[in-house]
Structure 1
């Protein structure tokens, strides 16, 4: 680039477009160039000056008298004496270069010893050295020559005494080996617990001794070393919060670029996080549920959100994709204003495409084109990827340890905590420092109840709440709600959602291969049967690779029915659970496993379907009502399993008073008291009746 204040003249030689040219004419804003090969070209002056390789390599006239540009702010960073001395050197060096001082009046004549037409550069340098020495400035000819070179390279800044110039490294005169070792130790603190500066200095000393030998590289004084650590650890939180330190280290080095989408479904982000609310689990113990959710970038619509106990599986993530593509039904008790027909969504046009939307809630159905996931096991599993391929959804993994690649879903989780969770009984706060003393006692909602509350809040709150990140180009001063943004983008992008049919949803459900017997289909000690299975009992499905068994699909969140593929006639056969009339409400697979575990712990055969169904019914009823005032007792019973056999002998009637504390294994206590006077030998101990609905869960 040309130096500031330079002049471009005719007959100057310049480098442009990889070749040397001569300026043959200047006309307004156009420059005519003649290349060394004889080709003539006309170039706009701004284009020429902005070319990456432009440089003036030869001048037809005398060198222009100009002062290299240095900002006043840069000169203000040095002491005034150092700045005045640099400007003094500048005046003398310009006289050596041009023959005239900076403040020379027009028409002035150079002094004889500095006249460029009479004296060479070496003679002018010698004259300047003598003059400066006479003024009391220590300057030899070599010094004048060195200063001329520095002025040519750096301008006025090159004449500043380096002792006063600010050091860009920020480490002063500390040995570079100490700086290097300190940086290595500070970087190694990212994953460790926060310590003090003295610990870091001890590690630096050991590192220097191991690398250069004991005592070879001494450390500066303690005050200097502490200042050095402050400089090197700036912004790293080395001596602050460990969480903040790790988050800062994970921050990507590149420039943050917001995620944009021009139409619904163009990009959807999915993630899992613990919900900041204590829920009452099926066993009466309180714990935090996990939330897996998906959000559309273009409209900020929460496409689907599912709560479940800790331990999200790949099938849960796969079913989330399916839930996104079906309408959200209205629940009993929801207000009429929550219907899609009462919202800004173009309901009438969408109903013409899918009649199921007639009774849908005010949340749009968004079919994703691309889903952004992290590298969690549930998302990179074959089950989830196969479901995405089946739906024609592209999966885009985020870069490892780069949360900004899915920053919208991360921010959505924070919004759910602040807008929903903190208003729910049992709210825990975002960390232990913000947690109340009675969180467990305030937990009253089961996971199913929280799921229903969350779904209603999404429809009534989130989807109708203005979002600062959503703006319409015609009304940029007003924030849009997700439903309003969806309505605007549907019209602009021509987006028409093709929702999943019932059969499509069944296709995405997990699969078992089972034989159809006289009792129907057996899955995990549950029996499913219906009259429609009668023609296929003990029949072969025709799928030799699966041993002629039948393909059975099930919903892990609702095990009250399964679907058997009719391999002979096509379609699906809906088969209900034979004990559904006893339980009378949907239940999940983890609830069934918990019921079997409770039954086995109480001495009941966990392979007996009827017995487990009774325990399941009681479990669901207690989960719905909550543990009440006996929460502590419920936790104690859950932690202590009941023995599977009775005591070998009865305690004597009069030898010792009865134990005042009832034991967990005490069964049939009333019968034992009735027979206390009978001899212990040959005594018959009657069994009590198992009552699954009792609060204690024991026997009567």
Structure 2
């Protein structure tokens, strides 16, 4: 160990053949005091350059650097400190914990004893203390290591192995194995023996039989290289780890609600009874605010479409209504949200639930079709929302929504009847036999759980930077941030809702508007029939908005008058039950397979009605009489009908479609005042029964 470059008051130094103590320092002037009480003063450079000058020890206790022995096990750390104490006493005459005015023991006094004599004395002392012989050579070896490396030199080398990381295997084997493990990221999981056989054959062909490793050595090498890579483990985990960015994770700082939001969809971990016994799974699409961790909107749908992603934006700025049966504690006026301030801006909040209204400024999306659709981007443009696309297969770019959807599975879905688990490995037997919720019922339960549980649960990511022990709930964080970033919720009208629907450009013919063999017509189209819109970019066609979950009506925009025209389906009176594009396309596909390419509108309408009727009657029992219309039951048909009926009830504001009775003008009955005769039903004629009678 080198002598310190700076002496301090209390240090013991050798000067002029005597051991003296540094009594004080004043600039470069050093005051020394000897054992007889005499004092002297001289400049520090003169003292350090004098013959025989040596710093023998410090009068103050030195503090060991924190964490120096953390990698060493506790038992070995105590042994290291024990050796350190003896080596300090051997070299300086005093142990590191000696008091200020202590004197060295005679056998270790550097003034009267040489270094060899002190080493022999220490060897004799340690032999008595340990109960086994300790030679002077061992003490000398320890003293040299302590002088070169300090306390780190007292660590046993067996606890810091110096063997090569890859053992004695050839570098060619290591390189070949690392290359194969890198290529296995997107492949299926294989065992260690597979890699041993492949690597052995490759190195044998390239470098000869002597390059083939031993199986035991190869397995040890594979175990060292495989740590943290899941090469022989879960393929999903392996791909997820490979997609993580290298280096330290970045962090986005947000200061106000809506500054950055994330949207995603995932299968919901519970079965749903879609319609009349048909069981299936649905998708959960959610929108979360990064600043407050608020789930501003979450919907369950059979399949996520662009209209669902777009309408999530509408729900984010629309007050969540209180549902019948909800406790009053879930009202916004009973929560920590700034209700009175927001109520002055929007009267709709008077009967709203305790979920904040947040206007999205930027949304992070992945490569899902619903989020890449033109309809979703148009909806974002309508709100002035910037869309940020995450790179492919990088869920780390939107970690908040990924974790939020995972929390919904662990905190809500597992309590729902019909819980399936996150994969087939975690799914129970005959889950479909449990009492299952319908889609509207489950949607209402989800909204109530978000309002009651999620928005009032302290979130670990919402901590006070000045008091990290204090966590906020999403509602509390929103109330705190709204004080520094004022908010004005937007009122979403019916016309705003129409702007979020998918767009089609159609011609208005003499018979109306034709979309997928369906004809939409009403009297308001009289001035537009066979007229050109004047929009050359769209081939002089008219803008038409439609709802994929309800084909009863479409909305045509008259850009000349800046009005919307509600156009009902011509056969609305024949099909009172609403159904969507899924059921329509399924029926049209079946009819095309049976009748060819030519399909009439009436045939498709009848097929859809028959499909919904079969789905509504449920499965046919084995001994029960067959239905009147005998037609092969299709599992795909039942599922399509059930998913359509489950999504037929919209959850967003829209223009009310005209009633079916309004589409047909009934002539005025001039005999309303006359009595109406009773209708007597006729019996069904049965030829077999009639033949047994005698007339």
Could you state the TM-score of these two structures normalised by the residue count of structure 1?
Answer: 0.65
**How far did residue 94 of structure 1 move?**
10
Moved more, 364-373 or 342-351: 342-351
Name the CA distance, whole Å, in 1 between partners of 2:538 and 2:469. 61
Alpha-carbon shift at residue 110 of structure 1 (Å):
8.1
* 1:208-357 to 2 correspondences below 5 Å: 208-211=203-206, 213-220=207-214, 222=216, 224-255=217-248, 261-279=254-272, 286-310=279-303, 312-329=304-321, 333=324, 335=326, 337=328, 340=331, 343-344=334-335, 345-357=337-349
Structure 1: how far apart are the matches of 2:396 and 2:193?
Answer: 35
Q: 2:410 aligns with which of 411, 418, 422?
A: 418
Match of 2:661 in 1: none
Residue of structure 1 in register with 2:6 after alignment: 7
Deviation string, structure 1 residues 114-149 (Cα, Å, up to 9, x no partner): 9xxxxxxxxxxxxxxxxxxxx9979xxxx99xx98x
Does 2:193 correspond to 1:198? yes
Cα distance 1:317–1:482, how it changes in 2: closer, same or farther (>3 A)? same
Partner of 2:380: 388
1:567 to 559, 580, 599: 559
User: Which secondary structure does the structure 1 equivalent of 2:633 belong to?
Assistant: helix
Query: Could you tell me how far apart the structure 1 residues matched to 2:620 and 2:476 are?
Result: 43
Q: Are 2:534 and 1:538 equivalent residues in the alignment?
A: no
Indicate yes or no: 2:161 matched with 1:167.
yes
- Give the 3 Å change call, closer, same or farther, for CA 469–285 of structure 1 in structure 2: same
- 1:122 aligned residue: none
Asked whether 1:460 is paired with 2:442, we answer no
What are the residue-to-residue correspondences of 1:481-492 with 2, within 5 Å? 482-492=474-484
The correspondence of residues 353-372 of structure 1 with structure 2, limited to 5 A, is 353-372=345-364
- Structure 1's 323 and 472: CA in aligned 2 closer, same or farther, altered over 3 A? same
The counterpart of 2:634, out of the listed 633, 638, 641, is 638
Q: Deviations over 1:617-639 (max 9, x none)?
A: 45446556765868x99997216
Matches within 5 A, 1:88-107: none
Structure-2 change in CA distance of 1:83 and 1:623 (3 Å): same
Residue range with higher mean Cα deviation, 228-237 or 456-465 = 228-237
Counterpart of 2:517 in structure 1 is: 525
Instruction: Say if 1:275 and 1:289, in contact at 8 Å, map to a contact too.
Output: yes
Pair 1:552-2:547 in alignment: no
Mean Cα displacement is larger for which, 316-325 or 288-297?
316-325
Q: Deviations over 1:182-218 (max 9, x none)?
A: 444444444444433333322332343355x012435
Offset of residue 607 of structure 1: 3.9
Deviation at 1:462, TM superposition (A): 1.4
- How far, CA to CA, are the matches of 2:419 and 2:340 in structure 1? 40
The 2-side partners of 1:490 and 1:546 are apart by 44
Note the 1:77-116 alignment, pairs <5 A: 108=111
C-alpha deviations, 1:358-404, integer Å up to 9, x for none?
A: 55454333211221222334434555444433422122333554433
2:498–2:545: 8 Å Cα contact kept in structure 1?
A: yes
2:519 counterpart SS class: strand
How far does residue 176 in structure 1 lie from its aligned partner after superposition?
A: 5.3
Quote the offset at 1:477 in angstroms. 8.1
Moved more, 482-491 or 570-579: 482-491
- 1:495: how far off? 2.4
2:42 aligned residue:
none
Note the 1:421-432 alignment, pairs <5 A.
421-432=413-424
- Structure 1 residue 293 displacement after superposition: 1.7
The Cα shift of 1:107 comes to: 6.3
Deviation at 1:275, TM superposition (A): 1.8
| Counterpart Cα distance in 1 of 2:185 and 2:318 | 45
Three-state SS of the structure 1 residue aligned to 2:458 is strand
Range with greater deviation from structure 2 (273-282 or 563-572) = 273-282
CA distance in 2, matches of 1:635, 1:483: 55
Matches of 1:183 and 1:83 in 2, distance apart?
41
Gaps of 5+ in 1: 11-24, 32-58, 96-100, 115-134, 642-672, 675-700
Distance in 2 (CA, whole Å) between partners of 1:215 and 1:476 is: 61
Q: Is the 8 A contact 1:341 1:362 kept in 2?
A: yes
Q: Secondary structure at the match of 1:458?
A: helix
How many residue pairs were aligned? 561
Q: Who is 1:646 aligned against?
A: none
SS of residue paired to 1:594: helix
**C-alpha separation in 1, matches of 2:109 and 2:429:** 86
Cα 1:104–1:422 shift into 2, 3 Å: same
SS where residue 222 of structure 2 aligns?
helix
User: CA 1:297 to 1:566, structure 2 compared with 1: closer, same or farther past 3 Å?
Assistant: same
Output aligned runs, 1:176-195, within 5 Å: 177=171, 178-195=173-190
Q: SS of 2:634's equivalent?
A: helix
C-alpha contact (below 8 Å) 1:361/1:459 kept by paired residues: no
Cα displacement string for residues 494-545 of structure 1 (whole angstroms, at most 9, x for unaligned residues): 2232243332332232211112223322222222223222222222222122
CA RMSD of aligned residues (A): 5.2
- The 8 Å contact of residues 276 and 616 in structure 2, kept in 1 or not, is answered as no
CA spacing shift, 1:406–1:475, aligned 2, 3 Å: same
**8 Å contact from structure 1 (residues 464, 481) kept in 2:** no
Alignment of 1:117-136 (within 5 A): none
- CA distance 1:86–1:329, change in 2 (3 Å): closer
Which SS does the other structure have where 2:561 is aligned? coil
Match of residue 459, structure 2, among 465, 469, 472: 469
Q: Secondary structure of the residue that 2:399 maps to in structure 1?
A: helix
Mark the CA change 1:64 to 1:275 in structure 2 (over 3 Å): closer, same or farther: same
Q: State the SS of the aligned residue for 2:286.
A: strand
In the TM superposition, residue 270 of structure 1 has moved relative to its aligned partner by 0.9
Structure 1 residue 271, shift from structure 2 partner: 1.0
Please state whether the residue corresponding to 2:231 is helix, strand or coil: coil
Instruction: Give the drift of 1:572.
Output: 1.9
Q: Deviations over 1:403-447 (max 9, x none)?
A: 3332322222223333443344443221112223323455866xx
Q: Determine the C-alpha separation between the residues in 1 that align with 2:417 and 2:617.
A: 15
Match of 2:389 in 1: 397
Q: CA deviation at 1:63?
A: 6.8
Q: C-alpha distance in 2, partners of 1:166/1:379?
A: 53
Once residues 184 and 305 of structure 1 are traced to their aligned partners in structure 2, the CA distance between those partners, rounded to angstroms, is 44
CA distance in 2, matches of 1:88, 1:201: 51
Aligned match of 2:505: 513
Partner secondary structure for residue 402 of structure 2: helix
Matched residues in 2 for 1:169 and 1:500: separation?
69
For 2:371, the equivalent position in structure 1 comes to 379
Q: Is the 8 A contact 1:7 1:64 kept in 2?
A: no
Contact 2:298 2:447 in 1 (8 A): no
Q: 1:622 to 1:464 in 2, by over 3 A?
A: farther
Counterparts of 1:79 and 1:217, CA distance in 2: 42
**Secondary structure at the counterpart of residue 397 of structure 2:** helix
Are the equivalent residues in 2 in contact too, given 1:263–1:495 (CA < 8 A)?
Answer: no
Contact preservation (8 Å) 2:458, 2:474? no
Query: Are residues 72 and 552 of structure 1, via their aligned partners in 2, closer, same or farther at CA, if it must alter by over 3 Å?
Result: closer
Query: Could you tell me the TM-score, scaled by structure 2's length?
Result: 0.65
The verdict on how the C-alpha distance between 1:587 and 1:264 changes in structure 2, with shifts beyond 3 A counting, is farther
Q: Counterpart in 2 of 1:132?
A: none
